[in-house]
């Protein structure tokens, strides 16, 4: 290997770069907002909400403090009662299940399929008399199989709440993630595909009544007149973050295009490596349009590979720190999920974000090929 490769370091995600890339424009936006004293629920938030709703083709987008709060508020607003069951994959951030619990419900964790997304057959099999919700998670920027999930939900009168935290711009049969269910929830955590300089999220819906309730829930239960209509919390999308997101949104389509390009490069360079299972490449089929929030592979001798890549300056991550939700013993969940268990002995996320250069991908793939001696 050349010395240039040896000295290259490729972090899994470059947080500083989020700011550095657009420093001048971001500083101008921040200065403008702060000088106006426009801190809470001002025009910048409204403008971003309208823009997001327009992009998604939905009637309402409501900025909230983060996606976890957004999901929790959706379950409350949809009238989740104590003991109601919500079906969701165990391969997701603990936040998805925590939202159900925080709202008083019972998360029912199920298997994922070969593409690591919720298995629609497992959804149908998990339905009981107490099931009221299904929460597909559009993991890694790929939209779940919303045709089959939608059929199960319709047959059993379940409400669909989409965890679209990783999937802004992802499509299934040309329909955007987050627009299939009663509501969809997005995250603007800095490392997400559209990232803020801190926490942020949004709830989107076509339902006027639900939108009104979310607006109440995020702001102490208060309506536009200041009248308190219900017990609510405080989970507003910060006006400054909304202004930042509005600026970052200018580059969203280009970011998706670049992510798909990088995923294509990984696929071309790694498809023949025995010992790896890769995610479906971009344009693998006419149904999915994936935005590659993450590039999540399965690897034989995963931990050794990870250590080898670390020694070559390549940062990788295990999803959720290496455990699916049902594997966190302290949560006391009893689900038996052998497919997910096996995936979690093999799963690994390679760096994929818009700060990556083409030759970064070459270097990562070169190191992986070297490890497997091919």
Task: Give CA–CA dist 307/230, Å, rounded.
Answer: 52
Between residues 184 and 232, which has the closer beta carbon with respect to ligand PLP? 184
Helix (H) or strand (E) holding 121: helix 120-125
The interface with ligand PLP within residues 298-357 (CB under 6 A) comprises none
Give one DSSP letter per residue of 251-314, joined into a string: THHHHHHHHHHHHHHHHHHHTT-TTEEPPPPTTSSSSEE---S-EEEEETTHHHHHHHHHHTTB
Q: For ligand PLP, which is the closer residue by CB, 189 or 371?
A: 189
User: What is the Rg, in whole angstroms, of the alpha carbon atoms belonging to the chain?
Assistant: 21
Interface stretch with ligand PLP, choices 17-25, 88-96, 100-108, 226-234 (CB under 6 A): 88-96
Pick the closer one to ligand PLP by CB: 322 or 366: 322
Least Å distance, CB 89 to ligand PLP, is 10
Q: Which is nearer to ligand PLP, 66 or 265 (CB)?
A: 66
Binding mask 95-134 for ligand PLP (x = CB under 6 A): xx--------------------------------------
Burial class (CB in 10 A: 0-12, 13-18, 19+), 188: buried
Q: Distance (Å, rounded) from C-alpha 48 to C-alpha 46? A: 5
Phi first, then psi: what are they for 204, rounded to 5°? -125, 145
Task: Enumerate residues 57-86 that contact ligand PLP by CB under 6 A.
Answer: 66-68
Q: Is 170:143 a contact under the CB 8 Å cutoff? A: yes
Q: Give the one residue of 62, 108, 123, 137 binding ligand PLP; rule: CB under 6 A.
A: 137
Q: At what angle do helices 302-311 and 358-371 cross, to 10 degrees?
A: 130
Query: Least distance from C-beta 98 to ligand PLP, angstroms?
Result: 9
Kindly identify the residues of this chain, within the stretch 154-193, that bind ligand PLP according to CB under 6 A.
163, 165-166, 187, 189
Mask of contacts with ligand PLP, 199-238, x by CB under 6 A? x-x-------------------------------------
Place of tokens 């939202």: 99
The residue (of 238 and 367) whose beta carbon lies closer to ligand PLP is 238
Quick one: which of 53, 73, 86, 93 contacts ligand PLP (CB under 6 A)? 93
Q: Which residues contact 99 (CB under 8 A, 6 or more apart)?
A: 68, 71, 72, 74, 75
Cβ 95 vs Cβ 75: under 8 Å: no
Size of the site for ligand PLP (CB under 6 A): 15
% helix / strand / coil in the chain, to the nearest 5?
45, 15, 40
Q: Which is nearer to ligand PLP, 93 or 149 (CB)?
A: 93
Q: At its nearest, how many Å lie between ligand PLP and the CB of residue 174?
A: 22
Nearer to ligand PLP, 194 or 314 (CB): 194
Nearer to ligand PLP, 26 or 237 (CB): 237
Residues at the site binding ligand PLP, with contacts judged by CB under 6 A: 66-68, 92-93, 95-96, 137, 163, 165-166, 187, 189, 199, 201
């Amino acid at each position: 290997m050349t010395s240039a490769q040896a000295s290259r370091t490729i972090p899994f995600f470059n947080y500083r770069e989020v700011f550095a890339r657009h420093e001048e424009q971001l500083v101008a936006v921040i200065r403008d907002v702060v000088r106006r004293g426009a801190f809470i629920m001002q025009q910048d938030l409204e403008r971003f909400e309208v823009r997001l709703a327009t992009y998604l083709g939905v009637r309402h987008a409501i900025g909230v403090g983060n996606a976890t709060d957004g999901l929790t508020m959706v379950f409350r607003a949809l009238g989740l009662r104590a003991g109601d069951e919500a079906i969701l994959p165990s391969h997701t951030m603990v936040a998805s299940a925590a939202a159900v619990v925080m709202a008083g419900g019972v998360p029912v964790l199920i298997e994922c399929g070969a593409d690591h997304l919720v298995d629609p057959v497992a959804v149908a099999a998990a339905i009981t008399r107490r099931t009221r919700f299904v929460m597909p998670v559009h993991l890694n920027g790929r939209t779940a199989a919303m045709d089959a999930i939608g059929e199960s939900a319709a047959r059993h009168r379940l409400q669909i709440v989409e965890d679209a935290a990783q999937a802004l711009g992802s499509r299934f049969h040309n329909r955007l993630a987050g627009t299939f269910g009663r509501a969809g929830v997005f995250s603007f955590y800095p490392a997400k595909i559209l990232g803020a300089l801190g926490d942020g999220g949004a709830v989107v819906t076509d339902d006027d009544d639900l939108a009104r309730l979310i607006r109440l829930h995020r702001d102490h239960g208060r309506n536009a007149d200041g009248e308190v209509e219900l017990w609510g919390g405080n989970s507003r999308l910060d006006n400054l973050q909304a202004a930042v997101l509005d600026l970052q949104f200018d580059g969203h389509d280009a970011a998706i295009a670049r992510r798909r390009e990088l995923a294509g490069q990984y696929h071309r360079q790694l498809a023949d490596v025995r010992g790896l299972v890769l995610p479906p490449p971009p344009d693998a089929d006419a149904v999915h349009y994936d935005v590659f929030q993450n590039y999540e592979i399965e690897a034989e001798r995963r931990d050794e590979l990870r250590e080898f890549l670390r020694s070559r300056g390549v940062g990788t991550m295990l999803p959720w720190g290496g455990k699916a939700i049902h594997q966190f013993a302290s949560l006391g969940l009893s689900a038996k999920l052998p497919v997910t268990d096996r995936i979690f002995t093999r799963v690994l996320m390679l760096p994929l974000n818009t700060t990556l250069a083409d030759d970064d991908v070459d270097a990562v793939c070169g190191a992986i090929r070297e490890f497997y001696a091919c």
